Amino acid sequence: MNKTKRKIFEASMKLFAKKGYDATSIEEITATVGVAKGTLYYHFSSKEEIFNFLVEEGMKLLKNSIDIKIAKADTTLDKLRAVILIQIKIIKKYEDFMTIVLSQLWGNEPRHIMCKSKVVEYVKTIENIIKEGMDKGEIINGDASIIASGIFGLTCSCLIYRIKTEQEIDIAKLYKEFDNSILRGIVI
């Protein structure tokens, strides 16, 4: 991604997270980046395309990070620990991105549907780890879809914790708490 496209991407992400998609205009994006509309349209054909690119790239980063880490893990528990740690790190480092995705899960507009499908696709990755662990007898039997959704949802609650405490996310502290509370209940 070239420098200008990256600036458009980053400015859009900040504006979408702060103001919401609908309240953010192309004019605000170009003013924030300091480029003409023509330059923006050279890189992206519309605000919707910027949004789609943002979600695609962010979810790809999250999924690729998980895939790399779980490939190195031996047990289901180690894989789930990797998932939780990476999700906390992604939420801390890319809070604006996660705010956007989570805020767009409800509704029936194309961007809502796209966000839903990307989150469902990602949660399916966690679900597959859960099923594998159940098959190996490493974790309790249960509804893998519910457990996977719960792991995703609980780690996303880091954002609520940060808002409530008005403190930066302490990755080690949250990871330890999630490891103790989430994983303890499903390990055999």
Rounded distance between C-alpha atoms, residue 61 and residue 64, angstroms:
5
Contact 121, 62 (CB under 8 A): no
* CATH number for 25: 1.10.10.60
pLDDT digits (tens, 9 = 90+) for 108-123: 999 999 999 999 999 9
Please indicate, yes or no, whether residues 36 and 129 belong to a single structural domain of this protein: no
Contact 166, 133 (CB under 8 A): no
Please indicate, yes or no, whether residues 83 and 122 belong to a single structural domain of this protein: yes
pLDDT number for residue 71: 93
| pLDDT over 90 percentage in the chain | 71
pLDDT number for residue 117: 95
Please indicate, yes or no, whether residues 82 and 30 belong to a single structural domain of this protein: no
The SS3 call for residue 118 is: helix
Tokens 């990256």 correspond to what residue? 6
pLDDT digits (tens, 9 = 90+) for 5-45: 989 989 999 999 999 999 999 999 999 999 999 999 999 99
Question: Which range has highest mean pLDDT (131-145, 147-161, 169-183)?
Answer: 131-145
pLDDT number for residue 153: 92
Please indicate, yes or no, whether residues 74 and 34 belong to a single structural domain of this protein: no
The answer to whether residue 166 scores a pLDDT higher than 90 is no
Number of domains in the chain: 2
**Mean pLDDT over the full length of the chain:** 91
Please indicate, yes or no, whether residues 86 and 149 belong to a single structural domain of this protein: yes
Please indicate, yes or no, whether residues 15 and 106 belong to a single structural domain of this protein: no
Please indicate, yes or no, whether residues 55 and 19 belong to a single structural domain of this protein: no
* CATH number for 153: 1.10.357.10
Contact 15, 30 (CB under 8 A): no
**Across 125-132, average pLDDT:** 96
For 12, the domain range is 1-45
**Across 72-89, average pLDDT:** 93
Please indicate, yes or no, whether residues 145 and 95 belong to a single structural domain of this protein: yes
pLDDT number for residue 19: 94
Contact 61, 120 (CB under 8 A): no
Please indicate, yes or no, whether residues 104 and 150 belong to a single structural domain of this protein: yes
pLDDT confidence of 164, banded at 50, 70, 90?
confident
Please indicate, yes or no, whether residues 112 and 74 belong to a single structural domain of this protein: yes
